[in-house]
Each structure stands twice: as structure tokens, then as C-alpha cells.
Amino acid sequence: MRRPGLDAIVLIACCAVAADAQPRVPDAATIASLRSMIQAGQIAAAEKRLEPFDRAAPVVAYLHGLARYHADDHPGAIEILSPVVARLEPGTIERREAEQVLGLSLYAAGRLPEAIPYLEATRAWAGNNVELHYFLGQAYLQTGKIDSARGALAVTFAMAPESPGAHLLTAQMLIRLNLDDAAAAELKRALAKDARLPQAKFLLGQMALFRGRLDESAEWTRGELEVNPGNAMAWHQLGDVYVRKSQWDEAIAMLQRSLWINPFYSAPYILLGQAYAKKGQPATAEGMLRRAIEYDPNNRTAHYVLAQLLQQLGRHDEAKAEFAIAEKLQGQAGR
């Protein structure tokens, strides 16, 4: 047998170097198998199978990033996917999923301006996914893009973006984020389109109450009750206004109406306990406070107000026990 010449040896060596220089990537069947493992929660096993492959290859990095996301390691997913997502072939499942995972990871990490473009890219092919629109709506809200947020939330709740209801829902989300000024603007836009829209005036009254604007709160809340007299929370809210104004008889009347509609809500009982105590009716006050505790045993305020009442009545041992419960509940709430 002839020994290979020098030129052949050089050619073989060059081919071997070129082969080694090529990134080792899994084939399509292996990629699909690894995706299934990751989505089934078999993270460690999938990452072990990925070890022989070149992490610099975009598709391998995508799989590592996907694994980190499903392991709830959002910073890890962001670190891996950010440099490679644009190198994945547009329109492929790998590119789409990488954009989706990166957007959701950035959202979870609170990096909302960076998350939005990836969530928008995902919306282009997953437009019927209501959770995606919810997350996108929240990101828009927290970056001041109220109109865009309303559009996304309207899809989430299956309504027209410019409908009164869409304005109301957007306002409710803004209130949850403590963005009261923007919420008030949305509520007033809703009322301009439908002056009898339930809940809108209640929320405006609620925000006014939190800011100590008692007369304004009462006006908005009465407006809510005109269109929705069965709203127990609105009667309670109006009673709260009167309690803060020390108008005890008016407060009692409003709070009693709240309980006639919903007798299982503890907050009106607490306010009634305070009102009856101020009117010099301690037995009735105690009954109201104990009813509040019956419906909500872990309500710290109910225990604390009852303890104060018992102390004033000279029932010091009972008061001490209630103060201890209130303190324990306060500690639990602070954890």
C-alpha cells in the first residue's frame, strides 16, 4: 500500500482543523427533544445533555437560556439570551421563543423598557395570548404609555380599547400601582363616555378618601350610589367619611346599610364599633368588634380597637390578651 504523500497529509490535517473549528450543534431532533425536556421541568438533565455542544452557537445558547428561564433564573436567561437572540434565524421557533423568554425575563427583573420590544415581537405571532397582553399592558402602564396599556388590557379582558370599560379597567390597574393621578384621568375619561358607569365614581371617591379630601370623597361616593345602590363597599366608604368627620349618627346609618347588603365583611363592623364607642354605647361597640373578629380572626385593627375599648372599661386582662393578639398579627404582617 502506498503511503500518502505530503500534500495529502496536509490536506487531511487542514480538513480536521476546519471540522474542529465548526461549532458543534445539536440536530433538529435533538433540539426538539431538549425543548421538551426543559418545558417538562427536566432542567438539570437537559443542561447535562447540552454540555458537549458549543455554547457560542446561537441555538445552543438559546437552549441554555430557555433552561435558565424555566428554572426561574431570570438574570441567567437574560445574560445568555441578550447577545444571541438577534443571531437566531427570524421566523423560526427558536427565534420566537428566545424573544418571548427574554421579554418575560426582563419583565420579571423589572427592566420594563427593555422588555417591551421583545413582548411586542411576541405579540406579532401570539396575538391571542391573553397573559402576554396582560404583561405587556403592565409594562406599558409602568413606563407611562397609558393608551398603549389600555389597548393591551382591552385584549386581555375582551373589550374595545376606547370603551368606557377599558378606561375603567386601566384605572383599576393604575390604582394598584399607586399611580392615582393617571388613574383619576382615566376614570374621568370613562365617565365622559358613560356618566352612569358603575364603579368609576366609587374609585374616585376612594382615592379622595385616601388623600383626606372628605367632602370630595363623599360627593363621588354618593354619585356611585345613585347608579349602583347595591354597592356595599360604597356605603361602607361613605360611612368611613362620616367616621373621619366625627359625624357618628350619619356614619352608623351608612355602615348599617353596607351590612344589610353584605353582612360578612368585617370592616363596617370595626367602624361601627368605633362609632358606638364614641356615642357612649360600649356594649354595642363591643358586640360589633367581636362580630368583626368572628368574620376575620386575623384582622389586627379589630383586635386592637377591641383592646382599647376593654381597657377603657377596666377589663385589663381581656384588653392585654387582645393587645397581644394585635401585636402578634402586626409581626406576622411585617415578615
- Among residues 243, 263, 283, the one where a domain terminates is 263
* Average of per-residue pLDDT across 187-211: 98
pLDDT of residue 11: 46
Q: Quick one: 205 and 118 in the same domain?
A: no
Phi, psi of 165 (to 5 degrees): -65, -35
CA distance 169 to 149: 10
* Average of per-residue pLDDT across 49-64: 94
- Among residues 80, 98, 126, the one where a domain terminates is 126
pLDDT band at 15 (very low <50, low <70, confident <90, very high): very low
Weakest mean pLDDT among 15-29, 75-89, 235-249, 260-274: 15-29
| Residue 22 pLDDT greater than 50, yes or no | no
pLDDT of residue 118: 97
Task: Report residue 167 as a C-alpha cell.
Answer: 378606561
In-domain check, residue 1? no
DSSP for 62-87, written as a single string: HHHHHHHHHTT-HHHHHHHHTTTGGG
pLDDT of residue 19: 43
pLDDT of residue 25: 87
In-domain check, residue 17? no
Q: Quick one: 81 and 140 in the same domain?
A: no
Query: What is the tens place of the pLDDT at every residue in 214-241?
Result: 999 999 999 999 999 999 999 999 999 9
| Residue 21 pLDDT greater than 90, yes or no | no
| Residue 10 pLDDT greater than 50, yes or no | no
Total structural domains within the chain: 4
Classify 74 in phi/psi space as left (phi over 0), alpha (psi -120 to 50) or beta: alpha
Let me know: does 61 contact 84? Beta carbons within 8 Å.
yes
Q: Quick one: 113 and 70 in the same domain?
A: yes
Q: Quick one: 35 and 48 in the same domain?
A: yes
| Residue 112 pLDDT greater than 70, yes or no | yes
pLDDT band at 333 (very low <50, low <70, confident <90, very high): confident
Domain span holding position 51 = 23-126
Better-predicted residue by pLDDT, 13 or 216:
216
Q: In the predicted model, what is the mean pLDDT of the chain?
A: 93
In-domain check, residue 305? yes
CA-based R_g, the chain, Å: 31
CATH code of the domain containing 99: 1.25.40
Q: Quick one: 37 and 120 in the same domain?
A: yes
* Average of per-residue pLDDT across 242-255: 98
pLDDT band at 279 (very low <50, low <70, confident <90, very high): very high
Closest CA to 172 of 160, 183, 159, 163: 183
CATH code of the domain containing 244: 1.25.40.10
Q: Quick one: 152 and 75 in the same domain?
A: no
In-domain check, residue 213? yes
* Average of per-residue pLDDT across 125-149: 95
pLDDT of residue 20: 46
* Average of per-residue pLDDT across 114-135: 94
pLDDT band at 3 (very low <50, low <70, confident <90, very high): low
Let me know: does 89 contact 119? Beta carbons within 8 Å.
no
pLDDT of residue 335: 65
pLDDT of residue 200: 98
Q: Quick one: 39 and 86 in the same domain?
A: yes
pLDDT of residue 100: 96
Q: Quick one: 43 and 104 in the same domain?
A: yes
- Among residues 179, 197, 215, the one where a domain terminates is 197
Task: Give the predicted TM-score (pTM) of the model.
Answer: 0.83
